[in-house]
Chains A and B, each alone.
Chain A
Amino acid sequence: MIDSDSVKNLAGHPFDRRDFLKVLGWGGAAAALSGCGNTSIEDGKETVVSYVEAKDYVIPGVAVYFNSTCAQCDAGCSITGKIREGRVLKLEGNPESPINKGKLCGLGQAAVQHHYNPDRVREPLLRKGDKGEAISWEKAYALINEKLAGVKGEEIALLSGDVSGHQKVLLGNYMDSLGSKNHFVYEAVSPAVVRAANLKFYGVEMPRYRIDKAKVVLSFGADFLGTWVSPVHFAQQYAAFRKGVDGQRGVLIQAESKMTLTGANADRWLAVRPGTEGILALGIINALGVSTGDVAELVKDYDKARVSRDTGVEPSNIDKIAALLKLRSPSLVLAGGAAEGYVHGMQNAAAINLLNQVLGNVGKTIEAPVSVPFPQMAPSKGRTAALKDLNDGLAAGKYKVLFNVATNPVFTAPASYKFRDNMAKAGFKVAFAHYLDETALQADLVLPLDSEMEDWGTHVPEYLADTVQINIQQPLMERLHANTRGMGDILLALVKQRRAEEYKAFDDYYGYLRSAVLQNKAALGGAGSDDDTFWNDTLSNGIVKLSGASGALSLKVDVSGLKLPAPKEIDEQYPMNLIPAVTSNLRDGRHTNQPWIQESPDPLTTIVWDSWVEMHPKMALQLGIVEGDIVKVTSKTGSVSAQVYLFPGIYPDAVSIPIGRGHDAMGRYAKGYGVNPFEIMDAVFESATGELAMHETRVNITKTGQRVIVVKDEGPAGGRQMGRKIAARVSTDQVDLSKEV
């Protein structure tokens, strides 16, 4: 774009706006002239390469479609890839999958940019000082074997994200062959506390939630439309819920400290003082007035006045919610990420689950999950406590060899872990990586992985919709780079170093997968068909659906040990709560280097390519801050600086910074954009599960004196659009919820 400054410099004359417009006019006319009818086609400039031998189904210009599985998050949506001239162009959902039923979220759509990303690692790299030297795969494997010689099993550790299917089996066998039990399954954002609370109250870690059957959904910070567990699946349930059961449109109430995408869709959004979600749940049980025995005893002190004082929710709203829940049954109460991120997160989640019990929702809108018939393939679920354990081990110098399977703990560990330094204490660090991210940069050996569109695999999602499904992952196109390898192939090569005899029949992971699937042909529903037919059908479907038995949910109400702490006193030095927001685009930041992710506006703030500090306008007024001010957010652990975005959808005493940006590696699209809230996160842990309590960090805000214009997709900064997106024209105590219904 030509701006007036550059034209001024170009001409060497002073130039005012009128003249600038004249130039634009003339230039435009010239461009219009040149565009009319005279453009010529380019003869003989480009090369058109034909096939040497073409497959029958290949017609240039006509796409073919293959089914596979999305690997952008762990929800396990099935995808259909559009492939033209041997290149994958577009992904959509596979309609046959009960999880996503033909739909795919924005994150899934962006997966092609993971595949074609120019910053992918292309050669095995061995550390030589600060540089990586490209070596051959044979040399890399030999080096691993050499480094493992004489190292005891307990001195070897392996860190991975969620893993399931045959890769989990192979990974387990490899660790077994090394005599190591140190497989750490780590996800930076995982519902681990909710799983534990579910286990306590329902007898299962992850029941099936039936939003579609509920008439009221009360969600405590569960962003089920954006980031929680299986958002594409829940979004479809939500559509059915909104259409209504028996002609009654479902009512969604969201109680949380910072508005999520789901909160923005709610009929009623309640700003809750951070950490008091459980108190609100008990207050609602009290207001319902239907409980007896232990439960009544537990909630008797949680009267409206006290609950309102503790949580910041108006007493009339508590009444309205209780009335609505009584009026409409079944309902569904969800405990999400915002409720579990505290020291008493488990207690919060337990109190919320108790509300479900009291309302009699268990068995109606909370159903028993189907169990996976092959337990060895069932997913290993990631927890943040696993990283803590690994970090402690590394700090104590327990591990000599560390394998890291495509996770990025240097980026997602709180700064106080000092993970980077502790990682250096392991003598030999191998990173299986797609990119040179923060963690891969610390490794001694980086082994480049195939993208999910070049690799084979099977996946069993944690959250299963209707039936058990084993998702097939198959290459949608040939390798882009000759020297990347699939994780399965690497594991097979490594396990062959130990157990050559056992695995000699398999040339590659494809062979292993095929024979493993065909071995269980009958159990997988292929009895009677021949091997090739069954295998080809399986690949073509992209999913193996199995009927799995549903267990029963426990209906036992046990409130022993349920004790909620009073809200924390305001800390003079660090008066604000930091809420590290998980956004539907960025999640834990592993996809930040996909430009579509960076450029698609955040659903609530519409900010692109940068981080922000979300702050309530009232609080900003008190501190004398306006939108675009660069502020320094300081915690006990450290500080980061970012632009302020004023947003009424947040509890006034809280500020929020999204997770996922602030990379200092990971390629051109991620490095240097925004800030990383993990850098200022205090290492505080949930008391019952040992999970990282991500919402416990207290911060203070200081102005730096700098100001920027916030790049966003809405009205001018500080303009009249502010606040209009949320229906806040009538103050909450004036709204009669029953009339709205």
Chain B
Amino acid sequence: MHRYLCFPAILAGFLMAVGCYAATDQQPTLTTEDDLGPQVQQPIEFPHYRHAGNRNTVDLTNSDPTKGGMEINCQYCHTYARRSLTAGIPPLQKCVGCHQNIPSVRDKPRIVELFKYWDAKKAIPWKKVHDLPDFVRFNHERHIKRFIEQQGRPVQEVCGYCHGQVKEMTTARRQKPITMGWCVSCHMKEHVVVVANKDGIPEGGTPLGKQAYWYTFQKPAETKNAAGELTAKGPNDCWLCHK
């Protein structure tokens, strides 16, 4: 009998090697702890910190590119995120739209490279940093509607839930695991439901009453936390992501 056992072992080993690089590793903990991805080489080393980073409070002219950014709203460039499933990459037109009016940095190597693409009318072949498997349909629009529009939270904070502190990076690098367990860890938490005021207008939170505060077929069980606030879990249906 033992001679047959080698075949399952071979097969199991094979499947492990192919299906997963780390079947023997520890399972990642289901938290939002950082899980730094590899540094990805991009065609242009786009400085996120310069565009989205916090202003330098000492040098208000903001002239030193190594210190301080311009606090540009993420959604100014990533304009598709609030309108579509995919965040998209800004069209080249968008970069040039501003940069053709900023002569001071025109001769910097990265900008020279940018205009090379523009003059050739060629798209920049960026590398995907957050690449989910094809069977996952993550919806950017819904998360932005929920957290930014309904709850009025700061844009950089909301984007940062998944993308990390991009405002401190040059080219983006993955900071969160973005695995299913990690997604679910947030959806399983009891979030405080904020009741709308008497006019039905949400006071910085998810409205009750006119609009459902859950997004699934079934209304979740309503619970109260220690402070006596009504809480509910995020949507937890398989089909939300696995269509």
Q: Which residues of A are at the interface with B, using a C-beta cutoff of 8 A?
A: 7, 11, 13, 15, 19, 22-23, 25-27, 29-31, 33-54, 59-62
Do A37 and B180 form a contact, CB below 8 Å, given A51-B91, A53-B91? yes
Shortest CB distance A45–B (Å):
7
Cα distance A155–B162 when bound, in Å? 72
Contact at B91–A43, with CB atoms within 8 Å? no
Contact at A22–B8, with CB atoms within 8 Å? yes
Contact at A34–B91, with CB atoms within 8 Å? no
Question: Can you give 5 contacting A-B residue pairs, CB < 8 Å?
Answer: A26-B8, A30-B11, A38-B179, A39-B179, A40-B179
Contact at B7–A39, with CB atoms within 8 Å? no
Which residues of B, 18-61, contact A by the 8 Å Cβ criterion? 19-23, 25, 27-28, 37-38, 40-41
Contact at A23–B8, with CB atoms within 8 Å? yes
Tell me how many residue pairs across A and B have CB atoms closer than 8 Å.
148
Q: Is B73 an interface residue (CB 8 A)?
A: no
Cα distance A59–B83 when bound, in Å? 7
Contacts of A31 in B (CB 8 A): 15, 19
Contact at A47–B128, with CB atoms within 8 Å? yes
Cα distance A296–B122 when bound, in Å? 80
Contacts of B88 in A (CB 8 A): 50, 59-61
Contacts of A60 in B (CB 8 A): 80, 84, 86, 88
Cα distance A60–B83 when bound, in Å? 9
Contacts of B188 in A (CB 8 A): none
Task: Identify the closest chain A residue to B178 (Cβ).
Answer: A41
Do A7 and B84 form a contact, CB below 8 Å, given A38-B20, A47-B128, A53-B93? no
Shortest CB distance A544–B (Å):
33
Shortest CB distance A426–B (Å):
46
- Per-position contact with A for B76-93: 1 when CB-CB < 8 Å, else 0? 000010011110111111
Task: Identify the closest chain B residue to A47 (Cβ).
Answer: B125
Partner of B93, one of A35, A52, A62: A52
Contact at B80–A35, with CB atoms within 8 Å? no
Contacts of B127 in A (CB 8 A): 44-48
Do A44 and B41 form a contact, CB below 8 Å, given A29-B12, A39-B133, A59-B80? yes
Q: Is B121 an interface residue (CB 8 A)?
A: yes
Cα distance A19–B1 when bound, in Å? 9
Contacts of B85 in A (CB 8 A): 61-62
Do A44 and B38 form a contact, CB below 8 Å, given A19-B4, A26-B11, A62-B84? yes
Contact at A50–B11, with CB atoms within 8 Å? no
Contacts of A37 in B (CB 8 A): 27-28, 179-181
Contact at A7–B7, with CB atoms within 8 Å? yes
Contacts of B174 in A (CB 8 A): 41, 43
Shortest CB distance B86–A (Å):
4
Shortest CB distance A473–B (Å):
29
Contacts of A36 in B (CB 8 A): 27
Contacts of A30 in B (CB 8 A): 11-13, 15-16, 19, 23
Q: Is B131 an interface residue (CB 8 A)?
A: yes
Contact at A46–B128, with CB atoms within 8 Å? yes
Contacts of A13 in B (CB 8 A): 3-4
Shortest CB distance B79–A (Å):
9
Contact at A41–B132, with CB atoms within 8 Å? yes
Task: Identify the closest chain A residue to B126 (Cβ).
Answer: A48
Contact at A43–B80, with CB atoms within 8 Å? no
Do A23 and B91 form a contact, CB below 8 Å, given A47-B127, A52-B121? no
- Inter-chain pairs besides A15-B4, A44-B128, A47-B128, 16 sampled, C-beta below 8 Å: A7-B7, A13-B3, A19-B7, A22-B8, A26-B9, A38-B23, A41-B37, A43-B38, A43-B129, A47-B125, A48-B128, A49-B123, A52-B121, A52-B122, A59-B80, A62-B85
Contact at B16–A59, with CB atoms within 8 Å? no
Cα distance A289–B129 when bound, in Å? 82
Partner of B40, one of A43, A51, A53, A62: A43
Contacts of B179 in A (CB 8 A): 37-41
Do A48 and B3 form a contact, CB below 8 Å, given A34-B19, A38-B28, A60-B80? no
